Structure 1
Amino acid sequence: MELFAVEGLPEIEPGDDLAALVAERVDLAPDDVVCVASTVVSKAEGRVASLDDFPPGPRANEIAARLEAITGEEKDPRFAQAVLEESTELLLEAPFLLTETRFGHVNVNAGIDRSNVPGGDLLLLPKRPAESAARLREELAADRVVVTDTCGRPFRHGQRGVAIGWAGLPASRDWRGERDRDGRELTATVESVVDELAAAANLVAGEGAGGTPVVVVRDFEFGEHAGSDELFREVDDDLVRQAIRAWHFDG
């Protein structure tokens, strides 16, 4: 398997034809996986916003005041309002905002970015990343597309790439029912392939001022496995979410 960044992309602006800009700079091969950072998808889709677009309500003011008291840092209630409006559930209000986005992804601050946002204060995640991936796949005439983001992980320091939208391949490959080298049947292993591809692409794309938000994965083979599009856990099956809901920060 080979990964390489698509070089020479300009700063993406609202309304830009992202697929055309990528297609001008790379010749795709059959079965390539095109991994596209959500930042450029959001910019092309006009998801750049100003803090003034989010006049804070009472709850946002309360959240900002509490976080300011906890951290000792000034917190803008307009940002808290943006997070509330981009979320379906606020799992934690302190010591940080842990949210569920409208498409099921659980992350900090509804995935709102405040870096590398020319012309605005905030960059919101794509509204429907699965549809974004499907549209890019069609416009690029690509076999497979993954829209990626970076977020933290429970129990570990640091961030890594994850998939928030995908098209042309299942989210996971299911090893259950297959056998290991000793002949034992696998009963629990479901491999999140789109997350692994996103993490691999993030190693090549980099962070900060890298400017290479599109990575091509070549010669990846899904294999003869069953596939599944289940990536985000259902609420009733998510024991961690249930525990978080019952927990309150007392600091």
Structure 2
Amino acid sequence: MELFAVPDVPEVGPGDDVAAIVRERADLREDDIVCVASTVVSKAEGRQADLSAFPAGPRAREIAATLEAATGEEKDPRFAQAVLEESVELLTESPFLLTETRFGHVGVNAGIDRSNVPGHDLLLLPKRPSESAERIRDGVAADRVVVTDTCGRPFRHGQRGVAIGWAGMCASRDWRGEADREGRELGVTVENVVDELAAAANLLAGEGAGGTPVVVVRDFEWGDHGGSDEHFRDAETDFVRQALRGWEYDG
């Protein structure tokens, strides 16, 4: 397997054709996997926003005040309002906002970005990233597309690339029922392939001012395994989420 960054991707704006941009700059093969940073997808879909578009309600002002007390830093209640409007559940409100987005992703601040947004205050995640991936897939020569983002993880320091949308492939590779080297049957092993591909792509995509937002994965082989689109853990089996619902920060 090899990965390479697509060169010279321009600043993307509302209405730009991401698939055409990739197609013009990369000689793709049918079995390639195109990993596209969510920032590019969001910009093309017009998900830029200003804080003035989110007048703060009572709940947002309460959350901002709680965060200020916990962190000692001034917080804009309009940002809290934006997070609330992009979320279906607020899991923690102090010392940071951990939320579930409308498409099932759990992350800090509903994944709202405040960097690299020329002319605007905020960049929201795509509304339906898997549908975005499908549209890009329709316009490039490759059969598989993954929309990526960076996200922190419980029990780990720092951020890593994760998949928030995908098309043309299963999200998870299922090893259950197969045998290990000793002949014992695997009973629980399900490999989240789209997250692993997103993390690998993020090593080349980079962060900050020098990022390259499109990475191609070549010669990845799925193998003779089953698969599914199980990716975001549902609330009924997410015991960490259940614990957080009854947890309060005591700073």
Q: Which residue of structure 2 aligns with residue 92 of structure 1?
A: 92
Q: Distance in 2 between matches of 1:119 and 1:211?
A: 19
Q: Which residue of structure 1 aligns with residue 233 of structure 2?
A: 233
* 2:35 is aligned with 1:39: no
The Cα shift of 1:17 comes to 1.1
The Cα shift of 1:209 comes to 1.1
**1:196-211 alignment runs, 5 A limit:** 196-211=196-211
Instruction: Write the letter of the residue equivalent to 1:121.
Output: D
Q: Distance in 1 between matches of 2:66 and 2:182?
A: 55
Alignment RMSD (CA, Å) = 0.7
Structure 1, unpaired ranges of 5+: none
In the superposition, the TM-score normalised over structure 2's length comes to 0.99
Q: Distance in 2 between matches of 1:41 and 1:143?
A: 18
Task: Summarize deviations over 1:32-65 as a string: whole Å, max 9, x none.
Answer: 0000000000000000000000000000001101
In the superposition, the TM-score normalised over structure 1's length comes to 0.99
**Secondary structure class of the residue paired with 1:156:** coil
The Cα shift of 1:173 comes to 0.4
Q: Which residue of structure 2 aligns with residue 62 of structure 1?
A: 62
Q: Distance in 1 between matches of 2:178 and 2:237?
A: 24
Give the ranges of 4+ consecutive aligned residues of structure 1 lying more than 4 Å apart after TM superposition. none
The Cα shift of 1:30 comes to 2.0
Q: Which residue of structure 2 aligns with residue 26 of structure 1?
A: 26
Farther-moved stretch of structure 1 (83-92 vs 12-21): 12-21
* 2:95 is aligned with 1:104: no
8 Å Cα contact 2:2/2:218 also seen in 1? yes
8 Å Cα contact 1:137/1:145 also seen in 2? yes
8 Å Cα contact 1:9/1:211 also seen in 2? no
Q: Which residue of structure 2 aligns with residue 171 of structure 1?
A: 171
Q: Distance in 1 between matches of 2:183 and 2:210?
A: 46
**1:99-138 alignment runs, 5 A limit:** 99-138=99-138
Instruction: Write the letter of the residue equivalent to 1:202.
Output: N
User: Quick one: percent identity of the two aligned structures?
Assistant: 79
Instruction: Write the letter of the residue equivalent to 2:24.
Output: E
The Cα shift of 1:250 comes to 2.3
Instruction: Write the letter of the residue equivalent to 2:31.
Output: D
Q: Distance in 2 between matches of 1:17 and 1:156?
A: 36
Task: Report how many aligned residue pairs link the two structures.
Answer: 251
Structure 2, unpaired ranges of 5+: none
